[in-house]
Amino acid sequence: MSLVEIKNLTVRYSGIKALDDVSFVVNPGDFLGIIGPNGAGKSTLFDSMLGLNTKYDGTIKFFDEDIKRSKKYLKELGYVPQKPVFEKNFPATVSDVVQMELRDESKQDRIDKVLRQLWIYDLHDRRIGDLSGGQQQRVFIAKALINNPKILILDEPVTGIDQQSTDLFYNILRDLNHRQKITIIWSSHDLDAVNQLANHVACLNRILFFHGESEKFFSNDELVKQYSEASMQEHMRHH
């Protein structure tokens, strides 16, 4: 059984294709890195997988069931959006933010455990708006993990975060995948990190340019070069 199966996914905004005939599968235990320049359609892909965007052609299945037929799969998903925003003065502590997501009442033990796992237990009483970007990010991951998801989806989670927090975050991801067997789908600009962490790679640039084992991608200089050139052109278009 594949956990996720995406078949011929095409998404259009005002008639213009943001994703064009994208197909791939994710198997249990996979750590999939999705790389692609700005505007490649990464967030569009996630929005569609999460049921936030329902206007698409093709099919998306989780646990062998079409997501248009059942929303049960959402219970098994943890999601860290690209820009989780909290107002500076948002009146909530770290524990409050993580608890908001909790479906089961009165599970203080669970909250404490997840906060410890993310190295933020010491911060549980601090206001969310007072934390650094890296600390906030770990709170959002804690929030995504609180209901024990089978699959964790993260959309470019390290933008604007310092190197030390990024390293810690990568170690946490590795641990979640290796030790807790959580399937991870993660979009990133950091090719080195994808090379080190992910066992599968999807190169997206409206079309799926490559999908397969990360070794096969990173050991193929020609592929990496083509990808880098395409992203650089895209980058120049945006600046």
CB within 8 Å of 198: residues ≥ 6 apart = 31, 32, 33, 184, 186, 214
Region near ligand ADP per CB under 6 A, out of 35-43, 69-77, 134-142, 161-169:
35-43
Query: How many other CB atoms sit within 10 Å of the CB of residue 41?
Result: 23
Closest Cα partner for 169 from 143, 136, 201, 191? Answer: 136
Does residue number 38 form part of the binding site for ligand ADP (CB under 6 A)?
yes
Nearer to Mg ion, 43 or 165 (CB): 43
Residue 202 DSSP one-character state: E
Alpha carbons 48 and 24: distance in angstroms, whole number? 14
Shortest distance, position 12 Cβ to ligand ADP, whole Å: 9
Nearer to ligand ADP, 52 or 74 (CB): 52
The sign one gets for the Cα dihedral 188, 194, 199, 201 is: positive
Alpha carbons 140 and 144: distance in angstroms, whole number? 6
By CB under 6 A, name the one of 22, 40, 98, 184 that touches ligand ADP.
40
Does residue number 36 form part of the binding site for ligand ADP (CB under 6 A)?
yes
Shortest distance, position 156 Cβ to Mg ion, whole Å: 6
Shortest distance, position 234 Cβ to ligand ADP, whole Å: 9
Does residue number 43 form part of the binding site for Mg ion (CB under 5 A)?
yes
Give the residues across from 79 on adjacent strands.
Answer: 153
Which one of Mg ion, ligand ADP, none interacts with residue 183, CB within 5 to 8 A by kind?
none
Q: Which positions lie near Mg ion, rule CB under 5 A?
A: 42-43, 82
Q: Which residues bind ligand ADP (CB under 6 A)?
A: 13, 18, 36, 38-44
